[in-house]
Structure 1
Amino acid sequence: MLKIGDKKLINAWAFYDWANSVYSLVISTAVFPIYYAGLTEAEGFANADGKIAFLGTLWTPTTLYNYALAFSFLIVAFISPMLSGIADYAGSKKKFLKGFCLLGSVSVMALFFFTGKETLWVGITFTILASIGFWGSIVFYNAYLPEIAHPEQQDNVSAKGFMMGYVGSVILLLLCLVLIETSVFGMYDKAIGSKVSFLLVGLWWIGFAQITYRRLPNDEKIALPKDNYFKKGLKEISQVAKELFAYPELKVFLVAFFLLSIGVQTIILMAGIFGTVLGLPVLNLIATILLVQIVGILGAFLFSRLSNKIGNIKTLKIIIAIWTIVCFIGFNLTKETPNVDMYFYVLGALIGLVMGAIQSLARSTYSKLLPETEDHASYFSFFDVTEKIAIVIGMITYGFLISLTESMQWSVLALAIFFLASFITLSMLKKTKYVR
């Protein structure tokens, strides 16, 4: 069994980022949203008002897709604390990681069968299940961080995971773009190329995850009778909740993380739509997405090293300040802005610089603040729930302001308020042995 801090163990753990990040790039960001938009905008799919029927209700295609994702976030937020309690009590983090990974990868591959109006239910159902699989597995994956790396290693290790994720996802996205846009593999049908891409994502995800499974420690402790699972799980998570709120530093950090997540996750999810509103062609948007991923590798590396020198708190404040600048640049961009595509590339580069950095550093900072405990999955479930609720609130706030102002620019500017509040909250965080 590999010991904590061992390079082989750390590399195996980080490889799950390599495995799962193809979902967040190809499915959540680049290929599937475009495929979904193309199908739902096709002649005969929607009615004369541009709405589609699902579960007896008429929806605009974008609203239905956004609500499906929001529903998946709520499901994960609801079930992850209870499942994490069970995992900590029974020592079954790896089983839950495998289970959610299997659900996510199979659901992604099932999107292959979403081909038109008659199979809309396939697209929506497996969009929800794939999202639950991805975000559910992340809870248990993150929970391994304090078990595979010493506190002084965790900033660099967390960043390494995100860097590997960016590299792997860019490689597969480029392969998918070749499938979709060229005849190199003997096909030049964008729909077929997209569907084959969904199969590749699922196979890549579950295939490379096997590397992680082989190295992560087996943590089974107790064989539980079936009738005790939920009772013991709820008891475990309630105990962790009491412990968590007894640590002021954890409470302050979770508030700061909640506020910054509203801004960060909303920008990540809405960046593509914002680019469409600015009138940018699809290929320009995909080029920007690739730019974000490539710069993200550099950003995660640089800021993890900076945190080693000046500490997590100061580094997070610098990153949040850059996110605030992103909001102000976005606010000043319109369709009529001269060379708007170049400004959008600059915006993408800035987002890339701080996107992976803030996610990896937030994960490692939280891990460093944890007390001496074996209940890592339960503690990280609170971290995950905080992020999911932030996403839902961010999307609702963003959409409400668009309906109120009929402009995305004001919605983008409003996100700066959340970053400012997070900056102020972080200023209240007291230094600890490993967080300064």
Structure 2
Amino acid sequence: MRSISLTKTEKSWIMYDIGNSAFILMLSTIIPIYFNSLAGEDLSSVDYLAYWGYAASIATVACAVLGPILGTYSDRKGMKIKMFVGVLGVGIIGCAALGFVNAWVSFLAVLIVTRLAYSLSLIFYDSMIVDVTKAERADNISSAGYAWGYIGSCIPFVVCLVLILWCDSFGLTMGEATTISMIIIAAWWLMASIPLIRVYKQSHYISKEESEGALRVLAKTIGNARSERKAFLFLIAFFFFIDGVYTIIEMATAYGEAIGLDSTMLLIALLITQIVAFPCTIAFGRFSSRFDASHLICACIIAYIGITLYAVFLDNITEFFILACLVGMFQGGIQALSRSYFAKIIPPDRSGEFFGLMDIFGKGASFMGTMMVSFVSQATGHMSLGIMSIVVLFVVGLVLFIKAASIPSNEERDPVTDAS
């Protein structure tokens, strides 16, 4: 469990997690509260939760469609960094623009575009892991990315939190404080991206001819995945269990708002999630050198089943604080280990293609989870029943993942080369 020294390329790759995590932290905390203030009297608490879920679903469906196609094109020589920079620019501009939109419908429209760009950037970013580190270091590097992303994102978040909570002391309105905050997050995201843009070199790639034709690309990608039995079954399992994880991330603050918990305390609780996640994610990376990564992923899924059941019955801020700590313990571990586990069982020269497909099964699955929570909540009038439906996703995902992990490991290959 000793610490490892990082190469310059590995450090630059980790830096991007620190940058984009600031946006996702705002998205899961302050942004839904700001959206609630924009919606005002127009939406009931149930409708507020539902429309928030619908917006998330639209963005994830769009990413699921575009992800594997763009991911395959990014596997061409020199294309990955260009496509990464393109969607990164859209995401950063959209992040800053959120602070200038005052109508809730328009706000959701800008948010959808920004979320889409953010998610697409992660496809290219995640697939870069095969170029920035060695196979035996992948679990640790992936975990370090999530861990430092959690703790690093707290720096701009705390600044924004102070601005928003004490906006009167600074002579600002809530809207003005939010505008400044979104600009701060956009700037942080940009600055943390520059090191990776400067040093990244794509060492695994395919020819232009192999990536021609968007519809053929999608069909071929699915065909390639099906020929990789272990990877394909993992993706199906991933579809279910990561859906539950993403849905909890997406809906946590909105759920707390909807059941009437204090907004300020919600933000503090979710800040604690980030702080707890830092050492726990690092720990999972270190544990992977002593325990099989598949066993650790199973442990995380089982923990999330318990976390979801606990969330159904919470009704006060103290219980929400406990929930925030529990999520922080396992959130980074399951995400980081899933990313590195997948990287080790796919062809390295098609990493963009396979990570694009992973986005269909991952972010695309989030469409199902948020829609499920939204639909069940509206249909029954009980938000707790909507949250309870998430348990099904974890149970199915666990069963399928155990099956995928049982497939002989001779399909695994060394996907990554040394990084300078």
| TM-score normalised by length of structure 2 | 0.89
Partner of 2:374: 399
Amino acid at match of 1:113: F
Partner of 1:411: 386
Q: Offset of 1:231 from its aligned partner? A: 3.5
Mapped partners of 1:239, 1:401: distance in 2: 36
Could you give the per-residue CA deviations for residues 296-352 of structure 1, whole angstroms, max 9, x where no partner exists? Answer: 11221111222221111110111111101112212332x3xxxx3222211110011
Report whether the alignment pairs 1:420 with 2:419. Answer: no
Partner of 1:96: 83
Q: 1:229 to 1:320 in 2, by over 3 A?
A: closer
Mapped partners of 1:36, 1:392: distance in 2: 20
Partner of 1:280: 261
Q: Offset of 1:273 from its aligned partner? A: 2.4
Mapped partners of 1:183, 1:128: distance in 2: 27
Q: Please tell me whether the aligned partners of residues 88 and 118 of structure 2 are also in contact (alpha carbons under 8 angstroms).
A: yes
Match of 1:106 among 93, 104, 113: 93
Partner of 2:245: 264
Q: Offset of 1:181 from its aligned partner? A: 2.1
Match of 1:348 among 324, 327, 330: 324
Q: Offset of 1:91 from its aligned partner? A: 3.6
**Cα root mean square deviation, aligned:** 2.6
Q: Please tell me whether the aligned partners of residues 61 and 364 of structure 2 are also in contact (alpha carbons under 8 angstroms).
A: yes
Mapped partners of 1:408, 1:432: distance in 2: 42
Q: Offset of 1:6 from its aligned partner? A: 6.2
Report whether the alignment pairs 1:358 with 2:334. Answer: yes
Amino acid at match of 1:344: F
Partner of 2:309: 328
Match of 2:130 among 137, 142, 146: 146
Amino acid at match of 1:305: R
Could you give the per-residue CA deviations for residues 127-166 of structure 1, whole angstroms, max 9, x where no partner exists? Answer: 1211111001000000111111111111110011111211
| TM-score normalised by length of structure 1 | 0.86
Pairing 1:9-408 to 2, within 5 Å after superposition: 9-26=9-26, 28-41=27-40, 46=42, 50=43, 60=47, 62-115=49-102, 117=103, 120=104, 122-182=106-166, 186-218=170-202, 231-232=212-213, 234-333=215-314, 335=315, 340-371=316-347, 373-408=348-383
Amino acid at match of 2:112: I
Could you give the per-residue CA deviations for residues 160-196 of structure 1, whole angstroms, max 9, x where no partner exists? Answer: 1111211221111100011112369843422211110
Flag structure 2 segments of 5+ consecutive residues without an equivalent: 414-420
Aligned partner of residue 98 in structure 2, secondary structure: helix
Mapped partners of 2:169, 2:185: distance in 1: 17
Computing the radius of gyration from Cα coordinates, the structure with the larger value is 1
Could you give the per-residue CA deviations for residues 247-266 of structure 1, whole angstroms, max 9, x where no partner exists? Answer: 21112211111110221111
Amino acid at match of 2:381: E
Mapped partners of 1:324, 1:223: distance in 2: 43
Q: How many residues align?
A: 405
Q: Please tell me whether the aligned partners of residues 94 and 219 of structure 1 are also in contact (alpha carbons under 8 angstroms).
A: no
Amino acid at match of 2:90: L
Q: Offset of 1:109 from its aligned partner? A: 0.9
Flag structure 1 segments of 5+ consecutive residues without an equivalent: 52-58
Partner of 1:56: none
Mapped partners of 1:220, 1:152: distance in 2: 17
Mapped partners of 1:425, 1:210: distance in 2: 39
Mapped partners of 2:219, 2:258: distance in 1: 45
